[in-house]
Amino acid sequence: MTLARSLPDDATEWWIFLGAFTLYVLGRWFFAWRQARREGDARPVRAAFAEEDGPDAVNAAPAGGFRSYRQFSGFVAVAVTVTLVAVLTDGRLRVGLLWIVVPLLTVALSYLDFREARKARSRT
């Protein structure tokens, strides 16, 4: 397989990966901040940064590295959608669609993960 690569070849691709990861993290923090603000927390920014699970976190064993099958299904649906857009389009249309679709799907995944983490915290 000569087309398969393990790491990006140029700096632009690294910036794209870094941007997607940053968008995901910012989405998680935004949703946590908004939830803390709705609950009337005195310091919603601090609550948003402390939102991540501590040492008593629920193990992510049921579906591989995912907490639920819903998260796994969301990840697969996003991967299939991005792959279909990349394969079925070309040129400017591909770039335009990917610049629209990927950020929207990344924020949707961060919201799904936020909801699953919130459910896990409420059960304990």
Dump pLDDT digits (tens) for 84-94: 888 888 889 98
Phi, psi (rounded to 5 degrees) for 48: -65, -40
Q: How many CA atoms lie within 13 A of 61 on its CB side?
A: 3
Dump pLDDT digits (tens) for 6-63: 666 677 777 877 888 888 888 888 888 888 888 888 887 877 777 654 544 455 444 4
Question: Is the model's pLDDT at 101 over the cut of 70?
Answer: yes
State the pTM of this model.
0.70
Which are the contacts of 108, defined by CB distance < 8 A and separation ≥ 6?
A: 74, 78
Phi, psi (rounded to 5 degrees) for 66: -105, 150
Cα–Cα dist 49/29, whole Å: 7
Per-domain residue ranges of the chain? 12-52+68-123
CB-CB contact of 84 with 98 (8 Å):
no
